[in-house]
């Protein structure tokens, strides 16, 4: 059994030297992807609401709001930047834990900027934080949390951010234990909120609350030392599993290495379906108007999450299989616009919504991301084509190349950062392990200009 004390000991006892070069490189690729999301999210409705909230709070600080040109406290910067990153629905995820990066990466950069942390410090904190949130998630997410309506990513994400923040703050094992305990009291997330702004801001809540927990622990606030395990402990409350056993890895044995990159601004469950439909359309040379019906087979959990056959806005479109199928059939490049409020009102997409049929297989195991989705497309000329959609390009088995990750990042920065500044920031990310201070990078992402001597 892994206890709260075991987790705290792992956080304190694990360091940058426990990770190999491939792992460090993977972390930098994930950083580039998420930092781009932060920039792009500054122009989304949810990102702008959160930025306005931070401005109204009047909090001075050292941590920048990406794409917004102002600074605030690390806690509020994590709150805003993580929400903005999540609002793009481009966040990168690992399965079966259903864990994402969009709360943790903005949080470690926000706190790192405040602390003037080195690039190695940031990489170390992220890898450790992701491991702490993901390993129990592999058991809890499909073991009871999802069925109870608990969204494990922001729930466990608050604990992951607390772990990362504790590492950045240099807390000892006792205070790290307190940080984990205090994070549990602030952990939250609901599967029913998917398709709303609340779902997006839950990532921000995890980022903010994890940093808060670590800072309060540093100052001496206390919690129980066995908060995770046992009857009525956190794992029991989250999933009805009071006693679970998991290990925490090093080297290449890390859940961060199993994170898949998203390409489309829609829920991860639809990435492989979109890929599959486009592959079938290309291979069999048909267009949207040639299609009579698209049948997608799913498990019982899928329609509880992908639940908007006729979305009314962009937030719902990102959780709509019907809209995703229409986008995949359109033959157009898929961009952030494809899942925007404007796209939802586009008659050219709406007319294909009713062609989608979701076929639920009640005997399949419950899981957020099941093993595969068989897709059958019936064409008006009588042909029927099929594909078993098991892997999306971007999954760990078929990962995005560094060039593709760079393209994703640059697309996110388009019309927000100048190309020159966006490229300069990209270069700083790839060289992050050599950086003495992350402020140079964050200054560009916040103000669209390099940090100059004397600039604060």
Q: Give DSSP secondary structure letters for 86-106.
A: HHTT---EETTTTEESTTHHH
User: In this predicted structure, what is the pLDDT of residue 58?
Assistant: 77
User: In this predicted structure, what is the pLDDT of residue 60?
Assistant: 79
**By CB neighbour count within 10 A (0-12 exposed, 13-18 middle, 19+ buried), where does 401 fall?**
exposed
Which residue's entry shows tokens 């760990």? Answer: 396
Bridge partner list, 356: 294
Which residue in 130, 150, 362, 132 sits closest to 241, CA to CA? 150
User: pLDDT tens track of the chain, all 456 residues?
Assistant: 579 999 999 999 999 999 999 999 999 999 999 999 999 999 999 999 999 999 998 777 899 999 999 999 999 999 999 999 999 999 999 999 999 999 999 999 999 999 999 999 999 999 999 999 999 999 999 999 999 999 999 999 999 999 999 999 999 999 999 999 999 999 999 999 999 999 999 999 999 999 999 999 999 999 999 999 999 999 999 999 999 999 999 998 999 999 999 999 999 999 999 999 999 999 999 999 999 999 999 999 999 999 999 999 999 999 999 999 999 999 999 999 999 999 999 999 999 999 999 999 999 999 999 999 999 999 999 999 999 999 999 999 999 999 999 999 999 999 999 999 999 999 999 999 999 999 999 999 999 999 874 445
- DSSP secondary-structure letter at 444? H
Which residue in 391, 375, 395 sits closest to 329, CA to CA? 375
Tokens standing for residue 34: 């998420």
Phi and psi dihedrals of 431, rounded to 5? -105, 20
Angle at 132 between CA 23 and CA 136, to 5 degrees: 115
For the chain, domains (ranges, CATH) are: 4-258 (1.10.4100.10), 268-392 (3.30.1330.120)
376 contacts 295 by C-beta, under 8 angstroms: yes
Rounded distance, CA 82 to CA 90, Å? 12
Tokens standing for residue 304: 């509880």
Rounded distance, CA 27 to CA 33, Å? 10
**By CB neighbour count within 10 A (0-12 exposed, 13-18 middle, 19+ buried), where does 22 fall?**
exposed
DSSP H helices, 71-172, are 74-87, 104-115, 119-140, 152-169
Rounded distance, CA 455 to CA 71, Å? 13
Question: Residue 194 contacts by C-beta under 8 Å, 6 or more apart in sequence?
Answer: 151, 267, 305, 307, 319
Which residue in 37, 262, 298, 253 sits closest to 138, CA to CA? 253
Phi and psi dihedrals of 344, rounded to 5? -60, -30
User: In this predicted structure, what is the pLDDT of residue 453?
Assistant: 46
Q: CA 451 → CA 39, 74, 117, 307, 424, distances in Å?
A: 17, 19, 16, 45, 11
Rounded distance, CA 420 to CA 108, Å? 25
User: In this predicted structure, what is the pLDDT of residue 2?
Assistant: 77
Rounded distance, CA 448 to CA 450, Å? 7
Rounded distance, CA 264 to CA 338, Å? 9
Phi and psi dihedrals of 261, rounded to 5? -90, 130
243 contacts 1 by C-beta, under 8 angstroms: yes
Tokens standing for residue 247: 């290990």
Beta-carbon count within 10 A of 60 CB: 7
User: In this predicted structure, what is the pLDDT of residue 57?
Assistant: 87
User: In this predicted structure, what is the pLDDT of residue 1?
Assistant: 55
Distance of CA 406 to the CA centre of its chain: 17
Rounded distance, CA 411 to CA 433, Å? 24
95 contacts 260 by C-beta, under 8 angstroms: yes
Secondary-structure percent of the chain, ordered helix, strand, coil, rounded to 5: 55, 10, 35
Rounded distance, CA 26 to CA 34, Å? 12
- Cis peptide bond upstream of 96, omega within 30: yes
């Amino acid at each position: 059994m892994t206890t709260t004390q075991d987790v705290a000991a792992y956080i304190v006892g694990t360091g940058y030297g426990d990770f190999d070069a491939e792992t460090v490189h993977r972390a930098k690729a994930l950083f580039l992807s998420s930092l781009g999301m932060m920039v792009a999210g500054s122009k989304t409705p949810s990102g702008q609401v959160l930025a306005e909230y931070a401005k109204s709070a009047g909090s001075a600080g050292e941590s920048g709001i990406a794409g917004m040109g102002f600074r605030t406290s690390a806690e509020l910067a994590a709150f805003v930047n993580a929400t903005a990153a999540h609002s793009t629905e481009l966040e990168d995820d690992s399965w079966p834990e259903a864990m994402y990066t969009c709360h943790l990466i903005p949080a470690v950069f926000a706190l790192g900027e405040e602390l003037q942390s080195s690039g190695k410090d940031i990489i170390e904190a992220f890898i450790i934080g992701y491991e702490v949130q993901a390993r129990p998630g592999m058991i809890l997410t499909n073991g009871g949390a999802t069925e109870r309506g608990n969204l494990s990513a922001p729930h466990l994400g608050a604990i992951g951010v607390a772990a990362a923040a504790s590492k950045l703050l240099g807390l000892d094992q006792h205070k790290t234990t307190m940080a984990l305990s205090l994070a549990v009291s602030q952990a939250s997330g609901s599967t029913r909120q998917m398709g709303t702004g609340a779902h997006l801001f839950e990532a921000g809540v995890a980022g903010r609350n994890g940093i808060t927990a670590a800072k309060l622990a540093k100052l001496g606030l206390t919690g129980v030392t066995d908060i995770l395990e046992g009857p009525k402990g956190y794992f029991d409350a989250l999933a009805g599993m009071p006693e679970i056993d998991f290990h925490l890895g090093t080297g290449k044995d890390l859940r961060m290495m199993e994170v898949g990159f998203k390409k489309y601004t829609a829920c991860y469950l639809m990435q492989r379906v979109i890929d599959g439909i486009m592959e079938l359309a290309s291979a069999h040379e048909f267009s949207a108007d040639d299609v009579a019906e698209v049948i997608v087979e799913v498990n019982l959990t899928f329609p509880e999450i992908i639940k908007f056959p006729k979305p009314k806005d962009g937030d719902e479109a990102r959780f709509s299989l019907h809209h995703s199928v229409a986008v995949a059939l359109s033959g157009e490049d898929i961009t952030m616009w494809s899942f925007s409020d404007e796209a939802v009102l586009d008659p050219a997409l709406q007319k294909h919504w009713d062609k989608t049929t979701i076929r639920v297989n009640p005997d399949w195991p419950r899981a957020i991301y099941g093993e595969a989705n068989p897709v059958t497309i019936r064409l008006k000329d009588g042909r029927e084509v099929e594909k078993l959609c098991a892997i999306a390009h971007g999954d760990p088995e078929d990962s995005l190349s560094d060039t593709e990750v760079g393209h994703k990042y640059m697309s996110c920065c388009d019309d927000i950062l100048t190309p020159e500044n966006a490229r300069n920031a990209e270069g700083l990310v790839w060289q992050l392990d050599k950086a003495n201070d992350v402020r140079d990078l964050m200054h560009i992402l916040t103000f669209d200009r390099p940090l100059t001597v004397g600039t604060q």
